Amino acid sequence: MHFRRSAVAMVCPFLAIAGCQSAPTPPAVRPATFIPLGVSAPYLLGDVVAGHRARAAKMRAAKIRPLAAAAAPMYMAELENELRQQTAGIGVDIIRVGNGILVRIPAALTFDAGSSTIKPQFQGTLLEISRTAKTRKQTFVDVLAHTDTTGTPQVNQALSDKRASAVAAYLGSHGVSKARIASKGYGETAPVYNPDLTEAQRAANRRVEIRLVPYFG
């Protein structure tokens, strides 16, 4: 009996501590193949595509008002919740990166190998994302595209540029202000798996990411 009480006494503080730490709600579907890259890749931690100053000038020209710094956390939290609801069950990954949000979309929903033509099922995914993104005007929208490591670096870079442009054009034609959007291809320079030895690993590398970053002016 004494041993039992001691064990309970030791376990209870750990349970109490664990209960006090509330983890963020996970996305409806988090593809396991994306876990190795995480959110610490250098390209995710830098400035928005083309730089904040140039992008902010376009936003001002489009008469989009910047966010107040104090309002940004709540604004982005609401955007995150909306994205999670819009994309629930689709198979994308919604990730907080710094003060922004990353929507990571797997190859199965994006492009066929070697192609920059958006698949029909990818159009449905992008439509759901655009419905939310277009109402949250006070964000920059970066479209980032990646390839696997088959082929030459030059071909992969050109292909990722075309894929990023195709997704950006789709968002722009479905209500997201073009002044908010910029795109960039990363080719094979930011792989989830390196080397990518299996088709599953190569497919994980062939991904599209949409990053939404608060616009402060």
| pTM for the predicted model, two decimal places | 0.81
Residues paired with 210 in a beta bridge: 103, 143
Q: Which domains does the chain have, with CATH numbers?
A: 28-214 (3.30.1330.60)
pLDDT tens per residue across span 122-160: 888 899 999 999 999 999 999 999 998 888 999 999 999
Which residue would you say has higher pLDDT here, 108 or 187? 187
Distance CA 95, CA 195 (A): 24
Distance CA 8, CA 207 (A): 48
**What is the average per-residue pLDDT within 85-113?**
87
C-alpha triplet 56, 60, 63: angle, nearest 5°:
145
Distance CA 125, CA 121 (A): 7
Q: Going edge to edge, which strands form the sheet with 208-214? A: 93-97, 100-105, 208-214, 139-145, 181-185
**What is the average per-residue pLDDT within 60-83?**
96
Q: Which of 66-75, 131-140, 164-173, 201-210 has the lowest mean pLDDT?
A: 201-210
**What is the average per-residue pLDDT within 157-185?**
97
How do beta strands 181-185 and 139-145 pair?
parallel
Cis status of the peptide bond prior to 106, with omega within 30 of 0: no
- Beta-strand runs (E) in the chain: 93-97, 100-105, 139-145, 181-185, 208-214
pLDDT tens per residue across span 102-121: 999 887 788 887 889 988 87
